A and B are shown apart, each in its own frame.
Chain A
Amino acid sequence: GAVVSQHPSRVICKSGTSVKIECRSLDFQATTMFWYRQFPKKSLMLMATSNEGSKATYEQGVEKDKFLINHASLTLSTLTVTSAHPEDSSFYICSALAGGQGDEQFFGPGTRLTVL
C-alpha cells in the first residue's frame, strides 16, 4: 500500500513557540491531504482538508490562524502550530488521498506534540 510519513514523530516545545509538522506521501501524489487531532483515549477529529495549491478548508471550531496548513506540492503538506500553548498538546495525524486507488486515505504514523 501507499506510504505516508510524518516528521517529527515527537516534539516538545515551550509555550509561545511555533512548531511545524510535515506530512509526506512517499510513493504517490496526493492532491488532498487531511489533518486530524487525536486526544488521549479519544477519537480522531478532522481539523482541516488541504488541497494542493489552494487554501485549506478548516472544520468548525478550528482556528485557521493558529493551525497554519500549507500544501505546496503533491507530496507534502505542513501543519504549523503557532504560538503553541499547553492545551495544544496532542497527537496530530495526517492522511493523504490517493486518487485512483478507490479514494482510500492513507494515514501517517502521527506526531506527538507536547507544549510545556
Chain B
Amino acid sequence: AQSVTQPDIHITVSEGASLELRCNYSYGATPYLFWYVQSPGQGLQLLLKYFSGDTLVQGIKGFEAEFKRSQSSFNLRKPSVHWSDAAEYFCAVGSDAGNMLTFGGGTRLMVKP
C-alpha cells in the first residue's frame, strides 16, 4: 500500500529565508507525486507535480521540488519565503495515473516577519 510521510508537523521560518519541506513516500511502482497548499477557506491548490522526466520540478509561486528515487523523497523548496506562503502544505502520492491520492499528514508553515 502506498503511504506518505511528512516528518515536520510545524515549521517556522523568517520572511526571506529559504524553505524546505520534507516528504517521503512508499509506493511499489513509479510514483506520481504532488504538492498541494491549503489556505483557510480555500481549496487545496496544486503547487507542482511529478510524473516522469526531469526530477527537478518547477511549480507555481516560486516553489520547486526534487524527486529522489534512491531516498524515496520529494522535498519541496523555495529560495525566499514570503509572508503569504504561510499555510498548510500536503505532499501526496497518486496511483492509477495519479487519480487515487494518498496524502501525507501535512506541514504547517508559519512565517515570521
> Which positions in A face B, CB cutoff 8 Å?
4, 9, 32, 34, 41-46, 49, 93, 95, 97, 102-110
Contact = CB atoms under 8 A, between A and B. Distances in A.
A38 to B, nearest CB: 9
Given A104-B49, A109-B43, A44 B99 contact: no
A44 B43 contact: no
A4 B97 CA distance: 21
A103 B98 contact: yes
B99 A32 contact: yes
Q: Is the interface of A mostly helix, strand, loop or mixed?
A: strand
Given A42-B106, A45-B103, A107-B36, 4 more contacts: A46-B100, A105-B46, A106-B43, A108-B43
Q: Is the interface of B mostly helix, strand, loop or mixed?
A: loop
B103 A103 contact: no
B105 interface: yes
Interface string B88-99: 001000000111
A73 to B, nearest CB: 20
Nearest to A97: B99
A44 B103 contact: yes
Contacts of B53: none
Interface residues of B, number: 20
B101 interface: yes
Contacts of A42: 105-106
B35 to A, nearest CB: 13
A104 B46 contact: yes
A93 B103 CA distance: 13
Given A43-B90, A44-B90, A104-B49, A93 B43 contact: yes
Contacts of A41: 9, 106
Nearest to B96: A103
A49 B100 contact: yes
Nearest to B36: A107
B31 interface: no
